[in-house]
Amino acid sequence: MKNKLRSTNLREILDATATRLSPLSDTPQLDAEVLAAHVLDKERTWLLAHDDTPFDPQTLSALEKTIQRLEGGEPLPYVLGHWEFFGLDFDLTPDVLIPRPETELLVERAIPWLQASSKRRAIADIGTGSGCIAVSIATHVPSAHILATDVSGAALEVARRNARKHHVEGQIEFIECDILPLPNPSSPPGNGQGVREFDLMCANLPYIPTGKLHILPIYGREPTLALNGGDDGLDLFRRLLALAPDRLAPGGRMLLEIEATRGTTALSLAYDAFEEAEIHLYQDLARRDRLLEIQLPQE
């Protein structure tokens, strides 16, 4: 068993923490600072100016517990209970995926397109998880109306919390369902279930092939329901693309995050579903296929 932290000043505690985290992380010093700031309820910048601060036994015990959770295989964002995405801080639990930088590409393609027209306002975020996509869009497009769906009720509770945290709960309707609910013409005005056609449909669906998922370090640490995309990683995409031609408005756009090795197949599926759309495949910062964009012509 590794030696527990001993009561001393902040600098020595940070060094000891980084040493213990070095087998677990590519950025042990940064992670040590993040953990210390978390248990002290301070900004990381505060640590740099107070490295001679002594730790009281209670704070030291709290830091030790967080380190042990990491040593037990729990991801850092779950230990912290929150994580940053698109410049916003999102609450997290193990019921939702950890937001990742590559998903920001989807938001970056959505927001300027929505801002360019006052008419594009009906949006569906399918498989919302933590709500990071829906909340980020709502924050930057205050007039947007978003229907956010997920098959997991526990995930939707986290998403609702994040909508309240960022004061956009009035713009987002959360529905527990598989893919999309059937349109209900009798729904009151402004209710997402009454929307027949969406101006924007976006989704970060489970896309890791089952066989590949079982050998990845992520397996068992984040919710399998949000990761497992079936034999080739495209099961949910096929189902969504079968519905999409009837639910995407003329001139509408779809943005779908995909698994990096499935770009060509995803393109083929999109062309099969939409005969006249402009379809593009975008790469993430690591130059891997990541985002499928489908743009319908205006009528």
The CATH number of 83-295, from 2.40.33.20, 3.40.50.720, 3.40.50.150, 3.40.50.300, is: 3.40.50.150
Question: Structure pTM?
Answer: 0.91
Contact in structure between 130 and 97 (CB atoms under 8 Å) = yes
Residue 194, pLDDT score: 62
Q: Minimal CA–CA distance to 79: which of 91, 66, 61, 89?
A: 66
| Top-confidence range, 6-20, 55-69, 129-143 | 129-143
The residues, ordered by sequence, that sit 6+ positions from 154 with a Cβ below 8 Å of its Cβ are: 93, 95
Q: What distance in Å separates the CA atoms of residue 155 and residue 177, rounded to the nearest whole number?
A: 12
Q: Which amino acid is at 64?
A: E
Residue 1: pLDDT band (50, 70, 90) is very low
Q: Considering only 143-147, 154-158, 192-196, which range has the smallest mean pLDDT?
A: 192-196
User: Could you state, in order of their start, the residue ranges of all structural domains in the chain?
Assistant: 10-73, 83-295
Q: How far is CA 107 from CA 77, 119, 148, 287, in A?
A: 21, 18, 14, 17
Q: How far is CA 268 from CA 190, 237, 264, 292, in A?
A: 35, 12, 6, 11
- Reply yes or no on whether the pLDDT at 190 is more than 60: no
The CATH number of 10-73, from 3.50.50.60, 1.10.600.10, 3.30.1330.10, 1.10.8.10, is: 1.10.8.10
Residue 31: pLDDT band (50, 70, 90) is very high
Edge to edge, the sheet with strand 289-295 lists: 172-176, 145-150, 122-126, 198-203, 248-257, 289-295, 278-283
Contact in structure between 290 and 284 (CB atoms under 8 Å) = yes
Q: Which residue in the block uniquely carries the two structure tokens 């999409």?
A: 244
DSSP 9: B
Residue 48: pLDDT band (50, 70, 90) is confident
